[in-house]
A and B are shown apart, each in its own frame.
Chain A
């Protein structure tokens, strides 16, 4: 069965620090990959997605993620975080012929000014 692992459960950073959140999935075939973000008091929003093509995808608010097929990874990065990036981040995966999203357990990011 497919699964998604997010190894960082809670990350604390100062503003301007660089961010990398890990995401690994277990599935040998073609996958679609997603990062969602949930800001405090708000609903889940799509941050970025990968279906095919360039493995480096850029999303909103300066976030990017790199798909490394050989490592089954889709890590999220941002070169310089802001206080407003404080949120919970979820990695998710599905396969092209299904809609069921498999989510990781989420990473809580706290950014201090």
Chain B
């Protein structure tokens, strides 16, 4: 399985500001995914990021709020824009495994918005 790192591991931000989360993979991968885990809830897919194309967003998530970059096959960023307390969550990136449809997850970024 791939080794995935995320930065920052946690942050406390003020409402109205933006935070960019970085995801680095130790091998080249075609697809990277960004999930959100709100307090007490399950993981929800935000978007799929392919290298060289626009990210594909799930229903309820928009590019203006969660812009994503995918400059190469080992790196992606997710920005949480104009934050409000409702954005307080753990944000995780994942990649697809080589064997099939399983995914491997990074350690997550715990975001608190005050």
Interface residues of chain A, those whose CB is within 8 Å of chain B, are 4, 32, 34, 36, 42-46, 49, 51, 90, 92, 94, 96, 99-101, 103-106
Complex CA distance for A99 and B107, rounded to whole angstroms: 20
On chain A, the residues within 8 Å of B53 by CB distance are: none
Contact A90 B43 (CB under 8 A): yes
Chain B, residue nearest A97 (CB): B101
Chain B, residue nearest A91 (CB): B42
Chain A CB within 8 A of B113 CB: no
Contact A100 B92 (CB under 8 A): no
What count of chain B residues pass the 8 Å CB interface test? 24
**Nearest Cβ distance between residue B62 and chain A, in whole angstroms?**
17
Interface code B48-76, partner A: CB below 8 Å = 1, 0 otherwise?
Answer: 10000000001000000000000000000
On chain B, the residues within 8 Å of A42 by CB distance are: 107
Chain B, 78-114, CB within 8 A of any chain A CB: 92, 94, 96-97, 100-108
Complex CA distance for A94 and B100, rounded to whole angstroms: 11
Q: Among the listed A32, A105, A106, which residue makes an inter-chain contact with B101, where contact means beta carbons less than 8 Å apart? A: A32
Contact A44 B92 (CB under 8 A): yes
Contacts A43-B107, A104-B42 given; does A49 touch B92 at CB 8 Å: no
Chain B, 29-53, CB within 8 A of any chain A CB: 31, 33, 35, 41-45, 48
Chain A CB within 8 A of B1 CB: yes
**Nearest Cβ distance between residue B8 and chain A, in whole angstroms?**
15
Most buried by A among B31, B45, B48, B102: B102
Contacts A43-B108, A99-B33 given; does A105 touch B42 at CB 8 Å: yes
Contact B45 A101 (CB under 8 A): yes
Contact B102 A46 (CB under 8 A): yes
